[in-house]
Chain A
């Protein structure tokens, strides 16, 4: 028993010191040991997938029964609603295509690099972390589908989280509201850059280290800044819900209400390649971005 405990303690110490994504690995852990533990974890996650599938089965069966027994009138109404929505989105798409072409032309004029295209994979949420202290979800897509750690996850409304662990056919996603998560964002109205950190609550994010002189208002839309190269630029993260001053400090306290439906279960999008700006060739290209806040590029967990 003592031997097993010592082995466990060794594995816990090494595995616990290897960050799941985003930061440098510790230098004192040999590379082969890190690779072995990561591979073991992927193997265990793959073995655990059937357990999650069984746990999710009642919801899948309920969904199937609901689909089978759906009323014809309801389906027709839903079809009409979706057709209208499709029409609206197609109209927006035309506008988007025009703006994208214009954007590319302007970037060429400025000598700035073009945005990289991103590949999107649709995945279904098949499980949630049983630990209420951690905001993590299990998706039904893994390395076989091209998913890799660090990829951004979005839903129809906004940014959802990022992939932290990948098995062959499943992957864990860390939500943006998790306590250990932080991401670089910017105010869409003013362009001010800041860091949005998780609080552990699914309906609240906080903006960290916000100077008191920052131009920010309640209701402002906060979107991804694209810094850090993990989240594509320009996706909505949330709206400013509350603003206040922190007593005896030159900082503001601000909370965000996330745009993404984090508490709902359904389908999400995994963005395989973040649309990161290439380095500009002329310094004027970034001047209009607005002021920078402290530690703008160090917040990704």
Chain B
């Protein structure tokens, strides 16, 4: 595994843990609505490194056989969907919800990857804000429809904190050999 692969794997595992970590007792309840969307940030990092880094899950499912870019892309989408499906079980949300959201994000990022690579950090932060905001609005809509969960300002607060956290992820992405090759 290349160093970038190791770092990305650690970031994905760390994001899974952070997504469910219980805050210390002194943290007030209202602050929970400001928890960044760690999983989406890790997903953005992962997709930006495709097809150079595909992840252990991809290798486990599709072996190491080399294929053309479009096949790798299709298989990567399936791997992303599987991660989303796991996130449904992890977060106790309706099955398929995160799979659908993650697949849409991955498709968008992959489609505009070259354009995103040219952007400045501030532009990418704004892109993260919009991406997380739309994702959370869709999630809130689904949870409202299925579970009767009320509409709250959470999509906005989560998008704001995710945007502010993104520079740390971006730094990791910029340092990886995969990113250099992509450019």
Contact = CB atoms under 8 A, between A and B. Distances in A.
B99 A130 contact: no
Nearest to B143: A133
B96 interface: yes
A130 B23 CA distance: 9
Given A12-B96, A52-B20, A265-B22, A130 B154 contact: no
Nearest to A38: B95
Contacts of A15: 94-96
Contact of A11 (B18, B77, B96, B152): B96
B17 A131 contact: no
B110 to A, nearest CB: 9
A129 interface: yes
Interface residues of A, number: 42
Contact of A44 (B21, B22, B90, B104): B90
A65 to B, nearest CB: 15
Given A12-B94, A132-B29, A132-B33, A180 B85 contact: no
A1 interface: yes
Q: B20, B85, B97, B146 — which one has the most chain A CB atoms within 10 A of its CB?
A: B20
B96 A179 contact: no
Interface string B146-182: 1111101010000000000000000000000000000
A172 interface: yes
Given A5-B104, A48-B89, A40 B22 contact: no
Given A44-B88, A133-B149, A10 B96 contact: yes
Nearest to A16: B146
A269 B31 CA distance: 29
Contact of A51 (B17, B145, B148, B154): B17
Interface string A167-209: 0000010000001100000000000000000001010000000
A265 B8 CA distance: 33
A41 B20 contact: no
B49 interface: no
A8 B81 contact: yes
B100 interface: yes
B142 interface: yes
B149 A4 contact: no
Contacts of A44: 85-86, 88-90, 95
A133 B150 contact: yes
Contacts of A56: 22
Nearest to A12: B96
Contacts of B86: 44, 47-48
A9 interface: yes
Contacts of B97: 8, 12
B92 interface: yes
A196 B37 CA distance: 34
A130 B35 contact: yes
A11 B17 contact: no
A1 to B, nearest CB: 5
A134 interface: yes
A55 interface: yes
A7 interface: yes
Q: Determine which residue in A43, A134, A202 has the highest number of CB atoms from chain B within 10 A of its CB, and name it.
A: A134
B126 interface: no
B41 to A, nearest CB: 14
B137 interface: no
Contacts of A40: 95
A9 B20 CA distance: 25
Given A9-B96, A133-B143, A202-B29, 5 more contacts: A1-B104, A8-B97, A15-B94, A44-B90, A55-B17
13 contacts: A1-B77, A4-B78, A5-B104, A12-B97, A12-B146, A16-B145, A48-B90, A51-B16, A54-B17, A128-B22, A132-B29, A134-B92, A265-B22
Interface of B: 16-22, 25, 29, 32-33, 35, 77-78, 81, 85-86, 88-97, 99-100, 103-104, 107, 142-143, 145-150, 152, 154
Which 3 pairs from chain A and chain B are nearest by CB? A44-B89, A11-B96, A16-B146
